[in-house]
Chain A
Amino acid sequence: MAQAAIELIGINKSFGAVRANRDINLEVTRGTIHGIVGENGAGKSTLMSILYGFYQADSGEIRVGGKPVSINTPNDAIALGIGMVHQHFMLVDNFTVLENVILGAETDALLKSSIAKARSELERLEREYGLEVDPDAIIEELPVGLQQRVEILKALYRGAEILILDEPTGVLTPAEADHLFRILKQLKEQGKTVVLITHKLREIMAITDTVSVMRQGTMVATRVTKETTVGELAELMVGRRVLLRVEKGQSEAGAIKLSVRNLTVKDSRGVTMVDDVSFDVHGGEIVGIAGVAGNGQSELLEAISGIRHAVSGEVMLEGKPIDLTGKADPGELRDRGLAHVPEDRHHVGLVLAFEENENSILGYHDDERYLKGPFLNVDAIMADAKDKIEKYDIRPGNPRLKTANFSGGNQQKIVLAREMEQDPGVLIVGQPTRGVDVGAIEFIHKRLIAMRDQGKAVLVVSVELDEIRSLSDRILVMFAGRIVGERGPEATEGELGLLMAGVEHQEAAE
């Protein structure tokens, strides 16, 4: 039996009345990649923050390398060889890579020898693990994949033997995620221990040796990855069997509701992001747009919903054109039956500081149902919010609660409830389940299919290929701003993957 790098014994942690961790036991074997999965709010991040000294456990014992230790600050953790790569990077954006790496680990007041040491150390780490980054680059000018690499370098520079990664792929493109996994495997080969926190089961299956499942603050199971299945893990996470593929009937496509012709969109730098795109969405069908993030899907969505200027082309909503100057009145588009669930719900979809009931009518607040003369009809709004909470199973079910206090999945449900309950003719949804846990994904998918079955036209943009495949009646693949192919829902992942990578497109061009 290999030695345990970390043992957690009977860890408990409460925040007020919420018990984030209950009696957690965990053993991580040295030199392995250990996955921890669970829904949002299952207590994974809290547990790892305890291990990193950010929080203190109410009770329980931590052993590192077999010895009981007390970790009260991140400094203690660093001294024990524990390094953490946070979900939101802990980097100073306008510092260089080198400055970020030495911050807090400088050995001399005048930095001369620290900087020299860091340079040679970075070179060594680069050689050994393939973590190449220019030490003099400014962080904010680096893509997120490289920024994450700097976070890993920071931990290794401090002599980390145990590396904790909190949702590392949430911000990465698939290619960057693959590269990260190669790095992690290399770290493992060099004898480091990796703890990977995620809610993406595919990653767990691809890279981990062992996996532990958390649910509602408890550790429900630990499995050897090879001996388990995605289905079993998903079931353990939510406590019941989940339909990873939503059941749906045949679509009955009706009249064209949304029609896009020769749409071209440039970004602020003048780079063409959407290049001569044309397609139709019929009533009663879901059209999915697949593609690696950054291939123009976001700009396409924004142009169609009237918030981004399009250089040329036209978009017809129920036969009438939409103003594409980027100055369209969103209220008018809503009146014409276009509902939009934006990709970035925190910045565009919700006002996080508002109460739930306020967000649940945001944008529809001048609808006479919610008004009493010139004033808001608070009773009607509350009744409406309660109704949506019940229908969409939004938790906690308190319409007075500040929206920021809802979990990501429930925030998304607030936006979806608002847009869907207006009974729009056309629904445009960006990343319907980004940052949403497994239970809520299923619910959201069912709702979208119900919309379709009512004869609405639904356009879904998602970077999750699984989601596109399980929802769509037709799949359009975007690459470098163009639609490079249309496939049916029966298309294989490999086939779509090639399209998304632009392989077929390039061959056709030659």
Chain B
Amino acid sequence: MDSFNAIVQVLDSTIRLSVPLLLACLAGLYSERAGIFDIGLEGKMLVGAFAGAAAASVFHSAFVGLGTAVLISVAFAMVHGFASITHRGNQIVSGVAINFVAAGSTIILGQAWFEQGGRTPALQPGERFEAIVWPGAEAIRNVPILGPVYAELISGHSILVYFAFAMVPFTWWVLFRTRFGLRMRAVGENPAAVDTAGISVAWLRYRALICTGVLTGVAGAYLSMVQNGGFVKDMTAGKGYIALAALIFAKWKPVNAMFACLLFGFLDAASIRLQGSPLPIIGKVPVQFMQALPYVLTVILLAGFIGKAIPPRAGGVPYVKER
């Protein structure tokens, strides 16, 4: 029974840890499906996290925080769009620039406004998104197997967690069942076909980037307002890049993206759980090794195990009419 509880706990933290990855991964899916490489997911999450925590703390409202996070993140996405769609700049350069601006500005503004070494004030109850306890969760907690699964895994998460997982089927539906999705996939594969069909390539891509901005904003808000009780500098810690890796691993498909992010989340959760406890056969391993494991696995999975991942064909290429 003890080991069962341990497994449930690891799975529970798997869900919590994979949510920001999943949101960022789906965000990347929108922009990359529309033919815009977005290496700036990391930066957009970071500004979202900062703006969310700052606004929530100042206005004492979690939802104002969330709204601000989304707004600022979308604004950064529009900067990326302005550089890479309107001015046909290099998408990688623009994305990297956004990451640097995000990393720097969040610290400077945080220090200037709150004077806590780049942190935002610790969020009080009501300024954070609290866990939602599902009806009956406590009542059946002691039922073997079913109880802990329901109480720990299904119930007891914040609304953003449910939002993240609801976005998976929603994104699939948008992508493959709506006019917007059809056009967005087309513009990522062959923008000239879209242009000659009389649809604006630029406007389509901007709309895809708005979706990206919304999702990275929510991802950022989750980091600072759910996982943590405030903003800490560089708190995204490379999650934007892991999300990009997951996106490739998932071959740019929403449901695959969910499983990829759950896998990365699980590795993360397992490495935390196994820190300090001796492994069978090998014995005790250094903490750093366990922490490095998810990243090592990322490299291995991307290098060898996914087969051929074909990115959207027009990805990374600014659209210029012939001649």
Q: Which residues of A contact B (CB under 8 A)?
A: 15, 52, 54, 73-75, 78, 84, 86, 88, 90-95, 99-100, 102-106, 108-111, 114, 154
Contact of B182 with A111 in the complex, beta carbons under 8 Å = yes
Task: Name the A residues within 8 Å of B195 (CB-CB).
Answer: 74, 90
Closest-CB distance, A79 to chain B (whole angstroms): 9
Given pairs A95-B189, A102-B182, 10 additional interface contacts (CB within 8 A) = A54-B196, A54-B321, A90-B190, A90-B193, A92-B189, A93-B189, A94-B189, A99-B182, A104-B194, A106-B182
Pick from B185, B197, B321: contact of A90, CB under 8 Å? B197
Task: Name the B residues within 8 Å of A15 (CB-CB).
Answer: 323
Cα separation A95 to B197 with both chains bound (whole Å):
15
Q: List 24 A-B contacts (CB under 8 A).
A: A52-B196, A74-B195, A74-B197, A78-B198, A84-B196, A90-B192, A90-B196, A92-B190, A93-B190, A94-B189, A95-B189, A103-B182, A103-B183, A103-B186, A103-B193, A104-B183, A104-B197, A104-B198, A104-B199, A106-B179, A109-B179, A111-B177, A111-B179, A114-B179
Contact of B193 with A100 in the complex, beta carbons under 8 Å = yes
Cα separation A17 to B264 with both chains bound (whole Å):
57
Closest-CB distance, B296 to chain A (whole angstroms): 33
Cα separation A78 to B182 with both chains bound (whole Å):
20
B180: interface (CB < 8 Å): yes
Q: A74-B197, A74-B198, A104-B198 are in contact. Are A110 and B190 (CB under 8 A)?
A: no
Contact of A108 with B179 in the complex, beta carbons under 8 Å = yes
Q: How many B residues are at the interface, by size bracket?
A: 20 to 34
Contact of A93 with B198 in the complex, beta carbons under 8 Å = no
Closest-CB distance, A116 to chain B (whole angstroms): 14
Cα separation A78 to B194 with both chains bound (whole Å):
13
Q: A95-B186, A95-B189, A103-B183 are in contact. Are A111 and B178 (CB under 8 A)?
A: yes
User: Mostly helix, strand, loop or mixed at chain A's interface?
Assistant: loop
Q: Which residues of B contact A (CB under 8 A)?
A: 177-180, 182-183, 185-186, 189-190, 192-199, 313, 321, 323
Contact of A109 with B199 in the complex, beta carbons under 8 Å = no
Task: Name the A residues within 8 Å of B190 (CB-CB).
Answer: 90-93
Task: Name the B residues within 8 Å of A93 (CB-CB).
Answer: 189-190, 313
Task: Name the A residues within 8 Å of B193 (CB-CB).
Answer: 90-92, 100, 103
Cα separation A108 to B194 with both chains bound (whole Å):
17
Task: Name the A residues within 8 Å of B177 (CB-CB).
Answer: 110-111
Contact of B313 with A75 in the complex, beta carbons under 8 Å = no
Task: Name the A residues within 8 Å of B183 (CB-CB).
Answer: 103-104
Cα separation A90 to B191 with both chains bound (whole Å):
9
In the A-B complex, the 5 residue pairs with the smallest Cβ-Cβ separation, listed nearest first, are A104-B197, A75-B198, A90-B193, A90-B196, A106-B179
Q: What residue in chain B is nearest A75 (Cβ atoms)?
A: B198
Task: Name the B residues within 8 Å of A86 (CB-CB).
Answer: 196
Closest-CB distance, B197 to chain A (whole angstroms): 3
Cα separation A75 to B198 with both chains bound (whole Å):
5
Q: What residue in chain A is nearest B190 (Cβ atoms)?
A: A92
